[in-house]
Amino acid sequence: MPTIGWFEILIVVVLAIVILGPKDFPIMLKKVGSWIGTTKKYINNIQNEVSNIDIEDNQIEKKEEKKDES
């Protein structure tokens, strides 16, 4: 998987400033930051739900094993 270095990031930033203009660039950065934040919240929420499901499944399995032993 290719990595993105500082030079590539610099090129993207310069191109964004040229294309969007210096006035709209900060606005676009805020929008992108908001999108990234929202995406991270969704991913964390999904990870927590999957983790909770796994924990609940383990607890159910332990209860069933205890019943089988009795």
CB 20 within 8 A of CB 28: yes
Q: What does the pLDDT look like over 18-61, one tens digit per residue?
A: 999 989 999 999 999 999 999 999 999 999 998 888 888 777 77
- A 10 A CB-CB count for 6 gives 7
CB 59 within 8 A of CB 67: no
What predicted TM-score, i.e. pTM, was given to this entire model? Answer: 0.60
Q: Where are the domains of the chain?
A: 26-70
Helices (H), 1-70: 6-20, 24-69
